[in-house]
Amino acid sequence: MKHKIIEISYSEYSSIEELNENEAGLILKAREAAKNAWAPYSGFHVGSAVLLDNGKIITGNNQENVALPSGLCAERVALFAANANYPRDRVVALAISAYNKKGRVLHPISPCGSCRQAILETEERYGVSIRIILDGTSSIQVVEGIKNLLPLSFNKDSL
């Protein structure tokens, strides 16, 4: 038996001012998008902003449904909209922000498992690593590529 360890890495910033202009701008778009979430059941409003290599920014937010599984997370709303409308433009970064009734979340919001799988698919589709920017009031985390959020993934080589 071999015991193996996988390391993941990310950068942590204490405020948006520490980020470069592009990344800070993407977070602001995600914060803005969260305001248009449809989240009457959870009260948890999530916004997401996708940056394409042509400089375009596509936003999304969570869309809940009274039949709960019929809703969708902000990340996939934004990613699918980007992939559907700009299929030839590579996704280079994705920012996520969220607020609840107490305000913007303290801990950086991290994508759910299904969204991680969708981010992986987008990376493989475009042959890129996506910079994932997670917004919180206590800190902002920047993750270079989904391998840091989804190790041991089911991917195209698994088929």
Which residues are identified as catalytic? Answer: 75
Quote the least distance from Cβ 85 to ligand THU, whole Å: 20
Quote the least distance from Cβ 44 to ligand THU, whole Å: 4
**How far is Cα 26 from Cα 21, in angstroms, rounded to an integer?**
9
- Block residue for tokens 């985390």: 141
Applying the rule CB under 6 A, the residues between 75 and 114 that interact with ligand THU are 75, 109, 111-112
Instruction: Tell which residue, 99, 118, 97, has the closest CA to residue 109.
Output: 97
52 versus 115: smaller Cβ distance to ligand THU: 115
44 touching ligand THU, by CB under 6 A: yes
146 touching ligand THU, by CB under 6 A: no
**How far is Cα 128 from Cα 61, in angstroms, rounded to an integer?**
23
52 versus 118: smaller Cβ distance to ligand THU: 118
Exposed/middle/buried for residue 28 (C-beta within 10 Å: 0-12, 13-18, 19+): middle
19 versus 33: smaller Cβ distance to ligand THU: 33
